[in-house]
């Protein structure tokens, strides 16, 4: 489950990505289908593990399956969940077309912004900003 300090916006769902995961190298290639497959295998039915790589989960579904999750931002690398910049950029690009409420969209947008800020620090590149801040 995401760990958030009191000053952060709460996750868009009751289970959202762990923003404190380590970062893969910036040039790490990311394939959404493969990442989701690897996450399901890694989580092995554990909903909290699966949720730790997604920014959003639709309430009311089966949290142990990927069907209700959106915006994966991590990959399983050497057996561990790891944030991937290309996944974060993909989530930012897909946000406006996602079938989620405006309130959830606002929260996911905030989380993506946090991840861009973390990436800018992790990769020592202050030019990394979400598309809506350029």
Q: Could you report the per-residue pLDDT of 3-61, keeping only the tens digit for each? A: 333 333 333 445 578 899 999 999 999 999 999 999 999 999 888 888 889 999 888 77
Instruction: Tell me the domain boundaries of the chain.
Output: 32-133
Q: Cα–Cα distance between 28 and 90 in angstroms, integer?
A: 13
Q: pTM of the predicted model, to two decimals?
A: 0.85
Q: Cα–Cα distance between 92 and 49 in angstroms, integer?
A: 22
Q: Where do runs of H (alpha helix) occur along 13-55? A: 32-43, 47-51
């Amino acid at each position: 489950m995401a760990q958030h300090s009191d000053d952060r916006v709460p996750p868009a769902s009751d289970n959202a990505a762990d923003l404190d995961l380590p970062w893969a190298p910036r040039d790490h290639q990311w394939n959404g289908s493969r990442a989701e497959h690897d996450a399901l295998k890694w989580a092995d039915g554990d909903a909290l593990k699966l949720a730790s790589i997604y920014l959003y989960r639709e309430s009311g579904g089966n949290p142990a399956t990927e069907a209700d999750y959106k915006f994966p931002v991590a990959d399983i690398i050497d057996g561990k969940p790891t944030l991937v910049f290309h996944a974060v950029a993909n989530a930012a690009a897909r946000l406006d077309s996602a079938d989620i409420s405006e309130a959830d969209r606002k929260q996911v947008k905030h989380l993506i912004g946090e991840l861009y800020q973390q990436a800018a620090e992790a990769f020592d590149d202050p030019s990394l900003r979400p598309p809506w801040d350029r």
